[in-house]
Chain A
Amino acid sequence: MMDILITDRRLEPVKEKVLAGARLDADDGLLLFTSNDLAGIGGLAHYARTKRHGNRAFFVHNRHVNYTNVCVNRCLFCAYSRDAADKGAYTFSMEQVREIAMAPENRRVKEFHVVGGLNPALPFDYYIDLLRTIKEARPDATIQAFTAVEIDFISKAAGLSISETLARLKDAGLEMVPGGGAEVMSDRVRQKLFPRKIPADRWLEVVEAVHAAGLTSNGTMLYGHIETLEERVNHFLKIRDLQDRTGGFSAFIPLAFHSENSRLPNIPPTVAFDDLKMIAVARLMLDNVDHIKAYWVMIGEKLAQVALWFGADDLDGTIIEERITHTAGARSAKGLTRTEMRRFIESAGFEAVERDSFYRPVNGSDQEGGR
Chain B
Amino acid sequence: MNSLEYVCKKVAEGERLNTDDALCLYEKADLPTLGQLASHRRWAVKPEPVVTYVVDRNINYTNVCVSGCRFCAFHVRPGDKGGYVISKEELKRKLDETVALGGTQVLLQGGMNPDLDVDFYLDLLRFIKETAPIHIHGFSPPEISWLAGRAGLSVEELLRQMIDAGLDSVPGGGAEILDDEVRRRISPGKCDTATWLNVMETAHGLGLRSSATMMFGHVETPSQMFSHMIAIRDLQDRTGGFTAFIPWSFQPGNTKIDVPVASPCSYLRVVALSRIMLDNFQNIQASWVTQGDKISQAALAFGANDMGSTMIEENVVAAAGIRYRLPREEIVRLIETAGFHAAQRDCFYRILHYD
Interface residues, chain A, CB within 8 Å of chain B? 2-7, 36-40, 42-43, 45-46, 268, 271-276, 299-300, 302-303, 305-306, 309-310, 343-344, 347-349
Contact = CB atoms under 8 A, between A and B. Distances in A.
Interface in B69-99: none
Contacts of B33: 2, 4-5, 43
Contacts of A349: 31, 265
Contact of A7 (B40, B292, B297): B40
B258 to A, nearest CB: 15
Nearest to A3: B8
B298 A36 contact: no
B35 A38 contact: yes
B43 A309 contact: no
Contacts of A3: 8
B301 A273 contact: yes
A306 B295 contact: yes
B30 A272 contact: no
Interface stretch (B129-137, B201-209, B227-235, B332-340): B332-340
A39 B265 contact: no
B149 interface: no
Contacts of B265: 305-306, 309, 347-349
Nearest to B294: A272
Contact of A309 (B31, B260, B294, B337): B31
Contacts of B298: 38, 272-273, 276, 303, 306
Contacts of A344: 263
A228 to B, nearest CB: 16
Question: Nearest 9 A-B pairs (CB), nearest first?
Answer: A39-B35, A36-B339, A38-B301, A42-B32, A5-B36, A309-B31, A43-B32, A347-B263, A272-B294
B5 A303 contact: no
A310 B38 CA distance: 16
B293 interface: yes
A304 to B, nearest CB: 9
B291 interface: yes
A298 B4 CA distance: 35
Nearest to A306: B264
Contact of B40 (A5, A268, A300): A5
A300 B296 CA distance: 13
A169 to B, nearest CB: 38
10 contacts: A2-B8, A4-B36, A42-B31, A42-B32, A46-B31, A271-B297, A273-B300, A273-B301, A273-B337, A302-B295
A286 to B, nearest CB: 19
B136 to A, nearest CB: 34
Nearest to B297: A272
A302 B337 contact: no
Contacts of B302: 39
A272 B291 CA distance: 12
B36 A271 contact: no
B39 interface: yes
Contacts of B39: 5, 7, 37, 39-40
B128 interface: no
Given A39-B39, A271-B334, A273-B301, 5 more contacts: A38-B35, A38-B338, A309-B30, A347-B266, A349-B265
B22 interface: no
Nearest to B49: A36
A161 B67 CA distance: 75
Contacts of B107: none
Contacts of A42: 31-32, 35, 301
Interface residues of B, number: 39
Nearest to A55: B30
B125 interface: no
Nearest to A271: B337
A7 B29 CA distance: 18
Interface in B265-320: 265-266, 268, 291-295, 297-298, 300-302
B252 to A, nearest CB: 14
A302 B294 contact: yes
B180 to A, nearest CB: 28
A268 B4 CA distance: 40
A20 to B, nearest CB: 19
Contacts of B4: 2
A48 to B, nearest CB: 12
B263 A268 contact: no
B5 A2 contact: yes
Contacts of A45: 32
Contacts of A38: 35, 298, 301, 338
A346 to B, nearest CB: 9
Contacts of B340: 36
B11 to A, nearest CB: 9
B37 interface: yes
A305 B39 CA distance: 21
A276 B297 CA distance: 11
Nearest to A304: B264
A109 B292 CA distance: 31
Contacts of B264: 302-303, 305-306, 348
Interface in B7-54: 8, 12, 29-40, 43
Nearest to A280: B32
A274 B337 CA distance: 8
Nearest to B334: A271
B338 A273 contact: yes
Contacts of B260: 343, 347
A274 B336 CA distance: 12
Contacts of A43: 30, 32-33, 35-36
Contacts of B34: 39
B339 A273 contact: yes
A46 B32 contact: yes
A306 B264 CA distance: 7
Nearest to A40: B36
A196 to B, nearest CB: 31
A271 B293 contact: yes
Contacts of A7: 36, 39-40, 43
Instruction: Determine which residue in A36, A46, A343 has the highest number of CB atoms from chain B within 10 A of its CB, and name it.
Output: A36
Contact of B297 (A4, A273, A343, A348): A273
Contacts of A275: 294
A357 to B, nearest CB: 27
A310 B34 CA distance: 13
A275 B29 CA distance: 23
Given A2-B4, A5-B36, A347-B263, A39 B294 contact: no
A120 to B, nearest CB: 39
